[in-house]
Amino acid sequence: MEYIALNLNEKLSQFSEHWSPKIFARMNDYHFKLAKIQGEFVWHSHVDTDEVFMVLGGSMAIEFRDGRVDLKAGEVFVVPKGVEHKPVAESECKIMLIEPSGTVNTGEAGGHLTAKDNVWI
């Protein structure tokens, strides 16, 4: 059988839009997603799940109501479920997200930045 590695840079080259996570792998009932972000996202939370951010290229921050964390390539942060957060990036930043399948990027907030779920690359 042929087994094929998932190359993150190759996958990232397949799209250019910001704030629109693409699924590239599944583990049990979790999705692994890639996204390019720039600017400010919306305040939101995920009431049922933690959410993992891993920076692959560039830098970003996650703002919280009572603080913030700065992340650069090779760094990971787990946003606990239910905690309001707002991702921001001054310049384009490439990230990997890990969360249960069906998780909506804007959480309970909704709005025009809500991405289509279930888009694979």
> Which residues of this protein are in contact with a copy of itself, per CB under 8 A?
1-9, 24-28, 30, 32, 49-52, 56, 62, 64, 66-72, 74-78, 81, 98, 100
**Could you tell me the end-to-end alpha-carbon distance of the chain, in angstroms, rounded to an integer?**
22
Least Cβ distance, residue 78 to a copy of itself (angstroms): 5
Non-local (6+) Cβ contacts of 9 within 8 A are: none
DSSP state of 11: H
> Least CB distance from residue 115 to a copy of itself, whole Å?
20
Rg of the chain in Å (alpha carbons):
14
Structure token pair of residue 109: 């907030």
Other beta carbons within 10 Å of 8? 17
Tell me whether residue 62 or residue 111 sits nearer to a copy of itself (CB atom). Answer: 62
Tell me how far, at minimum, the Cβ of 104 lies from a copy of itself, in Å: 16
Choice between 50 and 112, CB closer to a copy of itself: 50
Provide the minimum distance between the beta carbon of 107 and a copy of itself in the complex, in angstroms, as a whole number. Answer: 15
- C-beta separation of 107 from 83 below 8 A: no
Q: Which residue number, 78 or 112, has a Cβ lying nearer to a copy of itself?
A: 78
